[in-house]
């Protein structure tokens, strides 16, 4: 006879064995519930989902049909110099992907991501939520280029101990367990990385991995750690080397010279993959949480919104956006000793910070983003200008470091806040690609009297700054255009409609343009690039850019398309136009993902035949970072 206690013991053992077997058979179950895992274990989970031809074909159908709205598809078959490394023939690459059978779903998505990422356009990206930035690969060796003794070299950031410690013991305890003293190498000079000269390695990462920015040297800065405003607070970014968005690398060997040493040593640093996605217990629940289609994945027919009141609310929130999606990266605050010591005049939690430097004549406007609270941004900037006036500042520094963009109209608002409303229109002339589906959407809106949508006529103005009538079809006749021996069609040129603003502004300039300077690391994306573009081209405000390869040309505007369009928004336009069953229309996505494209072209005021994105605009001043300025905003402003 078997006792009941033994049965209980055997049952528990069977359950434990079952869980153990599941974990050994299911690589996702093996890492469930862990904040940090070995990159190889993360890759095993991500690679455990078989290639599904039905899903792949659906994705490619959506991608190819929405790409007709991508303004630079033909431009970037051979991207204009000096941005030639950002060339990619999407039609050829998409055909290749469609004809390929992959081993896993992960392999398919990584190939598609890489093809589009090669454009180096942060507006135009494939975001498979199943894999993109679900694991951030982190190593306790953030890099930065510093000038010492007249030479610019690459170092492990001197504040690494304080910075990396903010990740918490869930991260650092692994290195304690294996007996690796990563703290020893803070401030070390890096000679080679995996046997490659450090500068060469960094440039390879910028070329092959970083994406987002046409300018190579801005991508170089993206490889490095940097300060920023995140969630309304000062923060430090790991950089593409120390915090990559895919768990590709298990370890890296650095040949380095530790601070206060003259000896070169070879040190292996191990990466840890930090999980950023939704909770899961096994492969099936991982797929359900991160990969399965959601009710927000695809668009909706706004004609079915249920009530006029609700539709008006939707229209109010449908504001033009130019932003780079940086993903759910591990959030780390700026080490306290690097936070500005001057009093922050707004004392709020928004993306705008305001200071007066100790000289009592220099004001600082740190603009971390043009996103968040649309009306709150305007109120904060208006209050900031008032406080700076009250402080009687005589000159102004505008810091745009690591600004990822936001609402297009907030960039124009900031121009008018600085230059006064008498300056007038604060944006650019722009166009939308006039491919057949886009023309059908606009024609449908005109016929239905549809307003408030992105393709709606009432959203735009003529270039004399008078609004388009609701029944005006700005796509007809389309404007023919040829680039790279490829004919294309564009809409008529249009202006944004951003006024009236919600906050009051002075008609007169806050300060003469000669008393304002914009500073940053070039990671000034989307709306930020539009803001700096107008400031530079029309106001004559000077720009100083930090970092990049020493002695090389570098643009200050990171990503200067005019507006991004995401998949759900585009699908909403199609459905609201009543065109979902049109053969040109993409189907609904079968998995959760987003495909964003640069949807509008802004034209440079200096050359109105050239997109601002491809217009070469070097900063008047190129300045290397030093140990005092690279992560201390107040020291950098004082230097400027």
pTM value is 0.93
Q: Classify burial at 226, counting beta carbons within 10 Å of its beta carbon; exposed 0-12, middle 13-18, buried 19 or more.
A: buried
The set of residues, in sequence order, having a beta carbon less than 8 Å from that of 449 and lying 6+ positions away, is: 470, 471
Q: List phi, psi (to 5°) of 251.
A: -160, 170
For residue 150, being part of any structural domain is answered with: no
Of 546, 549, 524, nearest to 534 (Cα)? 524
For residue 635, being part of any structural domain is answered with: yes
Q: List phi, psi (to 5°) of 370.
A: -110, 20
| Tokens, residue 510 | 């806050």
For residue 533, being part of any structural domain is answered with: yes
Q: Classify burial at 300, counting beta carbons within 10 Å of its beta carbon; exposed 0-12, middle 13-18, buried 19 or more.
A: middle
Q: Classify burial at 381, counting beta carbons within 10 Å of its beta carbon; exposed 0-12, middle 13-18, buried 19 or more.
A: buried
Q: What angle do CA 394, 396, 399 make, to 5 degrees?
A: 165
Signed CA dihedral, 164, 168, 174, 180: sign only: positive
| Pair 201, 193: CB distance under 8 Å | yes
For residue 551, being part of any structural domain is answered with: yes
Give the model's pLDDT for residue 326: 58
Q: Which residues of the chain carry a pLDDT beneath 70?
A: 1-24, 305-318, 322-331
Give the model's pLDDT for residue 559: 87
Give the model's pLDDT for residue 173: 97
Overall number of domains in the chain: 1
CA distance 324 to 557: 13
Of 501, 511, 504, 506, nearest to 540 (Cα)? 511
CA distance 572 to 298: 8
For 460-616, where are the E strands, in sequence order?
460-461, 479-483, 486-490, 495-496, 516-520, 542-546, 563-565, 593-602
Signed CA dihedral, 228, 232, 235, 241: sign only: negative
3-class DSSP string for 20-73: HHHHHHCCCHHHCCCCEECHHHHHHHHCCCECCHHHHHHHHHHHHHHHHHCCCC
Run of H or E residues at 5 = helix 4-25
Write b or e for each residue in 585-611: b if 16 or more Cβ atoms lie within 10 A of its Cβ, otherwise e: bbeebbbbbbbbbbbbbbbbeeeeeeb
| Tokens, residue 237 | 């970014």
| Pair 549, 59: CB distance under 8 Å | no
| Pair 240, 205: CB distance under 8 Å | yes
| Tokens, residue 637 | 């402003």
For residue 51, being part of any structural domain is answered with: no
Give the model's pLDDT for residue 37: 98
Give the model's pLDDT for residue 314: 42
Give the model's pLDDT for residue 258: 97
Structural domain span for residue 626: 323-427+503-562+614-639
Residue 535 per-residue DSSP state: I
For residue 413, being part of any structural domain is answered with: yes
Signed CA dihedral, 555, 561, 563, 569: sign only: negative
DSSP secondary structure string for all residues of 586-616: PPPPSBSEEEEEEEEEEBPSS-TTSBGGG--
| Tokens, residue 511 | 């300060």
User: Contacts for 264-267 with beta carbons within 8 Å, 24 or more apart?
Assistant: 264/191, 267/185
| Pair 512, 523: CB distance under 8 Å | no
Q: List phi, psi (to 5°) of 316.
A: -60, -35
For residue 203, being part of any structural domain is answered with: no
For residue 362, being part of any structural domain is answered with: yes
Q: Where are the alpha helices (DSSP H) in 99-152?
A: 105-117
Residue 408 is part of a domain; what is its CATH number?
3.90.226.10
Give the three-class secondary structure for 496.
Answer: strand
The set of residues, in sequence order, having a beta carbon less than 8 Å from that of 11 and lying 6+ positions away, is: none
Of 418, 389, 625, 382, nearest to 536 (Cα)? 418
CA distance 565 to 454: 9
CA distance 517 to 63: 41
Of 621, 624, 562, nearest to 221 (Cα)? 624
Q: What angle do CA 36, 38, 44 make, to 5 degrees?
A: 110
């Amino acid at each position: 006879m078997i006792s009941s206690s033994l049965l209980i013991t055997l049952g528990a053992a069977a359950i434990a064995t079952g869980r153990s077997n599941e974990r050994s058979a299911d690589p996702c179950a093996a890492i469930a519930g862990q904040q940090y895992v070995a990159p190889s274990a993360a890759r095993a989970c991500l690679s455990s989902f078989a290639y599904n031809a039905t899903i792949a074909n659906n994705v490619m159908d959506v991608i190819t049909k929405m790409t007709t709205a991508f303004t630079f598809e033909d431009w970037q078959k051979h991207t204009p110099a000096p941005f030639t490394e950002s060339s990619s023939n999407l039609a050829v690459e998409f055909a290749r992907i469609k004809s390929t059978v992959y081993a896993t779903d992960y392999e398919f998505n990584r190939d598609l991501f890489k093809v589009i990422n090669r454009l180096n356009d942060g507006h135009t990206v494939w975001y498979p939520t199943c894999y993109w930035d679900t694991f951030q690969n982190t190593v306790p060796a953030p890099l930065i280029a510093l000038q010492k003794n007249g030479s610019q070299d690459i170092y492990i950031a001197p504040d690494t101990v304080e910075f990396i410690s903010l990740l918490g013991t869930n991260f650092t305890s692994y290195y304690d367990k294996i007996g690796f003293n990563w703290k020893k190498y803070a401030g070390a000079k890096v000679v080679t990385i995996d046997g490659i000269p450090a500068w060469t390695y960094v440039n390879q990462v910028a070329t092959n991995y970083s994406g987002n920015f046409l300018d190579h040297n801005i991508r170089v800065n993206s490889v490095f750690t940097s300060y920023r405003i995140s969630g309304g607070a000062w923060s430090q970014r790991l950089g593409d080397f120390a915090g990559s968005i895919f768990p590709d690398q298990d370890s890296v060997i650095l040949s380095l010279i530790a601070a206060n040493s003259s000896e070169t040593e070879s040190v292996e640093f191990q990466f840890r993959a930090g999980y950023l996605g939704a909770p899961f217990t096994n492969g099936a629940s991982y797929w359900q949480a991160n990969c399965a289609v959601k009710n927000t994945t695809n668009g909706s027919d706004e004609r079915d919104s249920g009530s006029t009141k609700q539709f008006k609310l939707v229209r109010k929130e449908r504001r033009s956006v130019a932003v780079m999606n940086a993903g759910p990266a591990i959030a780390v605050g700026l080490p306290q000793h690097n936070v500005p010591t001057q009093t922050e005049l707004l004392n709020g939690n928004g993306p705008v910070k305001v200071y007066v430097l100790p000289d009592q004549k220099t004001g600082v406007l740190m603009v971390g983003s043009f996103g968040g609270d649309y009306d709150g941004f305007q109120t904060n900037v208006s209050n900031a200008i008032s406080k700076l006036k009250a402080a009687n500042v005589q000159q102004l520094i505008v810091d745009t470091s690591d600004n990822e963009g936001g609402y297009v109209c907030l960039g124009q608002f900031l121009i008018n806040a600085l230059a006064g409303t008498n300056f007038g229109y604060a944006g650019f002339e722009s166009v939308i690609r006039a491919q057949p589906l886009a023309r059908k959407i606009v024609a449908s809106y005109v016929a239905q009297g549809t307003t408030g949508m992105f393709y709606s006529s009432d959203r735009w103005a003529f270039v004399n700054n008078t609004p388009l009538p609701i029944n005006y079809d700005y796509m007809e006749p389309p404007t023919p255009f040829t680039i790279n021996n490829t004919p294309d069609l564009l809409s008529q040129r249009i202006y944004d409609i951003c006024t009236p603003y919600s906050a009051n502004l002075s008609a007169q300039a806050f300060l003469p343009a000669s008393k304002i300077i914009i500073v940053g690391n070039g990671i000034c994306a989307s709306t930020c690039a539009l803001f700096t573009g107008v400031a530079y081209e029309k106001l004559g405000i000077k720009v100083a850019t930090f970092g990049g390869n020493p002695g090389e040309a570098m643009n200050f505007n990171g990503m200067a398309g005019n507006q991004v369009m995401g998949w759900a928004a585009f699908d909403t336009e199609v459905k609201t136009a009543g065109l979902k069953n049109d053969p040109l229309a993409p189907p609904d996505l079968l998995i959760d993902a987003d495909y964003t494209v640069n949807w509008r072209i802004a034209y440079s005021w200096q050359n109105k035949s050239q997109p601002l994105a491809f217009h070469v605009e070097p900063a008047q001043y190129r300045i290397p970072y030093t140990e005092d300025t690279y992560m201390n905003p107040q020291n950098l402003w004082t230097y400027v």
